[in-house]
Amino acid sequence: MKRARGTALVATALCVASLCVIIISIASGPRLLNPFTMDRETCRTLLAIRLPRTAAALLMGGALGASGAILQGIFRNPLADPYILGISSGASLAASFGLMFGLSLFALSVPLLAFLGAIATGVAVVILGRGWKGLQPDRLLLAGVGVGFFLSALLMLVMTISVDDGLRRAILWMSGDLSLVDWGLLPVGFLFILAGLGLAVARRKGLNALTLGDDIAYSLGFNPARERLALFIAASLMTAASVALGGVVGFIGLVVPHVVRRHVGSDAAVVLPLSVVAGGTLLCVADAVGRTVAAPLELPAGVIAALIGSPYFIFLLGRRRIC
Amino acid sequence: MPEDAAMTTLEFANVSFSYNPHGFMEQLSFAVAGGELVGLMGPNGAGKSTILKLAAGLLSPQQGEVLVGKRAIRSYGGNERAQLVAYLPQTLDTQVPFRVAELVGMGAYPRSGEAALTVGEALHLTGLGGKATAFLTELSGGEQRRAYIAMTLVQGARVLLLDEPLASLDIRYQFDLYRLLKDIARDKGVSVCLSLHDIGMGALLDRLLLLKRGRVVAEGDPGSVLTDEMVRDAFDLDDAADSYTAAHRAVGLALERQPR
């Protein structure tokens, strides 16, 4: 079929682009490395700094892209993104406590706190969003927005009254800072993201069916509330792991799924994996650019991603076809 | 195939249901046999949509049983139920970002083995043969409705429950859809139960249930249900409406006599 070939073409192009980006990302930085001529120091920089950072950017971007695709589907709302449910606020609040009160006894404790904060927020949103018919999209969405605002307000309050040195780091971290990434975090983050993605891909049919509305999803044999809960858990796991790896990076979760859909249609079986690749690639590019153009100053990857991505997204919007 | 015929029978046995403590539907009993095209008519709030939701298993009766294939509909597992019963609500989301073939293909989700009908066959039956790669948003209202019905054909549902499928369709699409449902019922032995307001279309169906405030006030062939008196009574009209009723009946019957 012509259409299947088009999708395969887009997927191949994206994967090739992704590989190029990975190589460029490993090579670029304050000092340009040639990954093909290895001396001892190149090797050290490569292994200790560039590789984990590139891997983290790929993981985070991929997780955010897939979470956005899931949440836009289960809420039937094109504006849903991984942070709309307050998950990022919960993570930021918990992590900021850690940074400000110097809880960094273990290398892992700030990311771990962020992860726990994110998961706790997700659980709270589900409990508050549970109506008499189970998880309904509007109720869950509003519960998430409410919890998010409350936690953001708490965060602002804590930061206003704190004169701690950790404040600057907390702000930096919240705007998406990949410079703190090291190897220690990556395996755990990878596992959670893989688990979330696996759960979502296993429920791809449910995700498609929920897009048609709960009654039709039910008529197709699904239990809409159960599907929505499973997919929400998948998105929360990925978002929490992503925030724990490198803080809050906006734009990708909201826009990448829309860009992917415009190229390959809306079947979740295709949109989910391609949102992972596209999101990972975009964040990788943004991070490489961010740490190179104004070195030694680092520009936040989320800002660069939005600067690169928004014009393309607006260009796509201008072409035919309603989303 | 008597066994198959049993699976296509929808039966309400003394069903009572209410959204609030004041009572609504009491002791409702009726059945729709395989191959039958049954219409639910009556004023707004009479219980047409409630009956369809009960039949789909979306609502649970407080008393009595809703049976499909001699078993309570809510006792089936999800996939098993979906192969027996398909329900389309009154408002379908026509802004979903799928292509027609993708939407229709979702009908195969509850089926583990072979689809009841391939997507191509379902599109052909619903007259959407050339629209497989079009986006749902690009179709007309009638075509969108038919795309969803094509999905239920792939699903292989033996009982088709349609909530006001004719609303918002022009007279030509209404009649197209009527003929499509008639063909599905006759050729595949599917039971079709639909709610509708159009007296002309109601006159064409095999059987009608006229409802008022959760009760069946008349049941039988359209000629005996859609009398001036019954319609006046069900909709609280005076005899000035008789000519309206008569005209609509005549339109429906005239349409049916038209050659294909």
Residues of chain A with pLDDT under 50: 1, 105, 322-323
Structural contact between residues A81 and A142, judged by C-beta atoms closer than 8 angstroms: no
Nearest CB among A215, A222, A266 relative to B89 is that of A215
Give tens-digit pLDDT for B65-95: 999 988 999 999 999 999 999 999 988 888 8
What's the average model confidence in pLDDT over B223-247? 84
The sign one gets for the Cα dihedral A54, A58, A59, A60 is positive
Asked if pLDDT for residue B106 goes beyond 90, the answer is yes
Neighboring chain B residues of A215 at a CB cutoff of 8 Å: 56, 58, 87, 89
Min Cα–Cα distance to chain B from A193, Å: 26
Per-residue model confidence (pLDDT) at position B1: 39
Q: Which one has a higher pLDDT value, B233 or A100?
A: B233
Q: Other CB atoms closer than 10 Å to residue A288's CB: what's the count?
A: 24
Distance CA A80, CA A235 (A): 12
Q: Other CB atoms closer than 10 Å to residue B70's CB: what's the count?
A: 9
Neighboring chain B residues of A322 at a CB cutoff of 8 Å: 95, 97, 135, 137
What's the average model confidence in pLDDT over B108-116? 80
Structural contact between residues B45 and B229, judged by C-beta atoms closer than 8 angstroms: no
* Residue tagged 């960094």 (tokens): A104
Min Cα–Cα distance to chain B from A82, Å: 21
ipTM: 0.91
Per-residue model confidence (pLDDT) at position A47: 75
Closest CA to A63 of A284, A304, A226: A284
Mean pLDDT of chain B: 88
Looking at chain B, the whole-number percentage of residues with pLDDT higher than 70 is: 96
Q: Which residue of A has its CA nearest to B79?
A: A221
Min Cα–Cα distance to chain A from B11, Å: 18
Neighboring chain A residues of B56 at a CB cutoff of 8 Å: 215, 218-219
What is the Rg, in whole angstroms, of the alpha carbon atoms belonging to chain A?
20
Selected for mutation to probe chain A from B74, B90, B98 (highest A CB count within 10 Å) is B98
B98/A211 touch (CB, cutoff 8 Å), yes or no:
yes
Give tens-digit pLDDT for A244-289: 888 888 889 989 999 898 888 889 999 999 999 999 999 999 988 8
Asked if pLDDT for residue B41 goes beyond 90, the answer is yes
Min Cα–Cα distance to chain B from A265, Å: 7
> Is the minimum CB–CB distance between B89 and chain A shorter than 8 Å?
yes
B78/A221 touch (CB, cutoff 8 Å), yes or no:
yes
Two tokens, residue A142: 């509003």
> Which domains, from first to last, does chain A contain?
2-25+51-318 (1.10.3470.10)
What's the predicted TM-score (pTM) here?
0.87
Give tens-digit pLDDT for B171-207: 888 888 898 899 989 988 899 999 999 888 898 999 9
Nearest CB among A209, A220, A321 relative to B135 is that of A321
Give tens-digit pLDDT for A159-170: 777 766 666 666
> Which residues of chain B form beta strands (DSSP E)?
10-17, 25-32, 37-41, 63-68, 71-72, 85-88, 159-162, 191-195, 207-212, 215-220
Per-residue model confidence (pLDDT) at position B2: 44
Distance CA A253, CA A241 (A): 14
B99/A2 touch (CB, cutoff 8 Å), yes or no:
no
Q: Which one has a higher pLDDT value, B249 or A32?
A: B249
Structural contact between residues B51 and B215, judged by C-beta atoms closer than 8 angstroms: no
Q: Which residue of A has its CA nearest to B106?
A: A209
Distance CA B25, CA B214 (A): 4
Min Cα–Cα distance to chain B from A219, Å: 5
CATH for the B2-89+158-257 domain, from 3.40.50.300, 3.30.1390.10, 3.10.150.10, 3.30.1360.120: 3.40.50.300
Min Cα–Cα distance to chain B from A76, Å: 9
> Is the minimum CB–CB distance between B93 and chain A shorter than 8 Å?
yes
Rounded to 5°, angle at Cα B101 from B98 and B107:
95
Q: Which helix (H) or strand (E) holds A131?
A: strand A130-131
Asked if pLDDT for residue B12 goes beyond 90, the answer is yes
Distance CA A28, CA A50 (A): 8
